[in-house]
Amino acid sequence: MLLLLAAVVADPPTLRALPWLHEAGVPVVDVAAAAACDDEACGGEGALARPSASELAYLIYTSGSTGTPKGVSCHHAGAVHTLPDLNERFEFGPA
């Protein structure tokens, strides 16, 4: 069984500009409020709990080599290892 979860994750200016997001039928996470929520203020668990490396980060839907649509599961460990490489390769930084 595949469990799909959805949420809108946005910053305060986006949430103010798009008030209908709260009516989209999915949870809305204000990143500024979540970042300000420490473990003590949130009853022992942060608003954005840290996932384990083996938990699903995202799905990529592709036709694959067979032409049959399928979903490819990408876990947090893969994403975490990919990001530093992309930052270095494309020279991403504060500027």
Does 44 score more than 70 pLDDT?
no
User: Do the beta carbons of residue 21 and residue 8 sit within 8 Å?
Assistant: yes
CA distance 53 to 77: 5
- Structure-model confidence comparison of residues 14 and 31, the more confident one: 14
> How confident is the model over 70-80, as pLDDT tens digits?
888 888 888 88
What is residue 43's predicted lDDT score, i.e. its pLDDT?
Answer: 53
Q: Predicted confidence band at 49 (pLDDT cuts at 50, 70, 90)?
A: low
User: Do the beta carbons of residue 76 and residue 57 sit within 8 Å?
Assistant: yes
